[in-house]
Chain A
Amino acid sequence: MTSNSNLSNMRRLVEQLKLEASVERIKVSQAAAELQQYCLQNATKDALLVGVPTGSNPFREPRSCAVV
């Protein structure tokens, strides 16, 4: 029975939890607002979101794409 290693593991766990508990946090409302702002600010550059002008997408088909 490795009681000594159990003890040192538990000590490490307690120290780790103390560290995690001490992290400075912000409100979800603020964090969410900033995530949203980043999305909206970069939306026009996001080719998978808004598409790119025909002809400039390197992965386009050789012929034009039919929009369904």
Chain B
Amino acid sequence: PTIYVCFSLCPLGGTEVQLNETLAHLKTESETLKSKLEEERAKLHDVELHQVAEKVEGLGQFVMKTRRTLKGHGNKVLCMDWCKDKRRIVSSSQDGKVIVWDAFTTNKEHAVTMPCTWVMACAYAPSGCAVACGGLDNKCSVYPLSLDKNENLAAKKKSVAMHTNYLSACSFTNSDMQILTSSGDGTCALWDVESGQLLQSFHGHAADVLCLDLAPSETGNTFVSGGCDKKANVWDMRSGQCIQSFETHESDINSVRYYPSGDAFASGSDDATCRLYDLRADREVAIYSKESIIFGVSSVDFSLSGRLLFGGYNDYTINVWDVLKGTRVSILFGHENRVSTLRVSPDGTAFCTGSWDHTLRVRAICSLI
């Protein structure tokens, strides 16, 4: 198809007519391409995931108990992350506090007061020596963790990322040197921690970006983001290009998480469903939903093998799904308000949830032996 040349003069009279024709032409072309994309994806949709999994043994009853309750935040817990040492946790709250906990003992090891409320994002550095956080301040700041409990952490604070709207999520990459952020300004960005320099920005979402997750390191330099435009986008970190996009949710996507092999990712949305998208089939391959579940999903994560998908919901519960069969295997209670954040520990022995009820809970399976 030919592309008309557009004059970059102020549109007046005849030139405006030409612009409108070009716009209409491009619009038609984009509609055609969208249909073609759906057609191509549909051609390969020869079976459902749960059909392939029919012969797999079903999962038995699950008894998962709360093993630790972390109390100390003065308001809603908004985000949490595990340290690679599998025992420390960082959490952030609406009251502006960021706390580092030893989840084994429930002791608070560090506490920082941010200059803003609604600290919506926090992350542990891979080395375990720093944490990053941000929220309504539109920034992502890094705090080195001192061994000296008396040292004022706020004094060593380093401002790294600057967005033009709230910070919704942040994650260190493979090292302490780079941070990936997502924002209410509709973009994601990659930053150098030391210099605060913007290394790459990612444009493509049409509204606030609410979440992101980095691909497991073996699968290369990509990450997935989810937003208020109901889209989940997969990005090439080096080029800034959006390489795949999925738009099947019916509302905001609050959480995205890669399947452990890196070949797929799950999403949780305000439309009360979780979905699984396979990257090589380039389509949604499962929906995790029930008529009785009507509240939004705030956060999702997989168990180590990818067989279980944990979803934290706005109705205060956690639903546990059999990823292959598409059925719910367990519903967990305990929180007294929305579950806002959920992460499985690095070695998969436990998972932690944070809630608007001000607490965090660490749960593990009841030993069967």
A interface residues, Cβ below 8 angstroms from B:
1, 3-4, 6-7, 10-11, 13-14, 16-21, 23, 25-36, 38-43, 45-54, 57-61, 65, 67-68
Known A16-B242, A32-B47, A42-B304; contact A48-B52, beta-carbon cutoff 8 A: no
Which of chain A's residues has its CB closest to B329's CB?
A49
Known A46-B307, A48-B344, A59-B104; contact A35-B263, beta-carbon cutoff 8 A: yes
Question: Which residues of chain A come closer than 8 Å to B324, judged between CB atoms?
Answer: 35-36, 39
B84 at the interface (CB under 8 A from A): no
Task: Tell me if B37 and A20 are in contact (CB < 8 A).
Answer: yes
Distance from B300 Cβ to chain A, minimum over Cβ atoms (Å): 14
Distance from A30 Cβ to chain B, minimum over Cβ atoms (Å): 8
Task: Tell me if B349 and A59 are in contact (CB < 8 A).
Answer: yes
Task: Tell me if B281 and A17 are in contact (CB < 8 A).
Answer: no
Question: Which residues of chain A come closer than 8 Å to B242, judged between CB atoms?
Answer: 16, 19-20
Task: Tell me if A45 and B349 are in contact (CB < 8 A).
Answer: no
- Besides the contacts A32-B53, A59-B364, what 10 more A-B pairs have beta carbons closer than 8 Å? A21-B37, A30-B281, A31-B281, A39-B324, A40-B305, A45-B348, A49-B304, A51-B365, A58-B86, A60-B67
Task: Tell me if B348 and A47 are in contact (CB < 8 A).
Answer: yes
Question: Which residues of chain A come closer than 8 Å to B323, judged between CB atoms?
Answer: 35, 39
Contact residues, B14-73 vs A (CB, 8 A):
16, 19-20, 22-23, 26-27, 29-30, 33-34, 36-37, 40-41, 44-49, 52-53, 56, 59, 63-65, 67-68
> A57 to B348, alpha carbons, bound, how many Å?
11
Which of chain A's residues has its CB closest to B261's CB?
A38
Task: Tell me if B303 and A48 are in contact (CB < 8 A).
Answer: yes
Task: Tell me if A16 and B204 are in contact (CB < 8 A).
Answer: yes
Distance from A18 Cβ to chain B, minimum over Cβ atoms (Å): 6
> A45 to B348, alpha carbons, bound, how many Å?
8
Distance from A54 Cβ to chain B, minimum over Cβ atoms (Å): 4
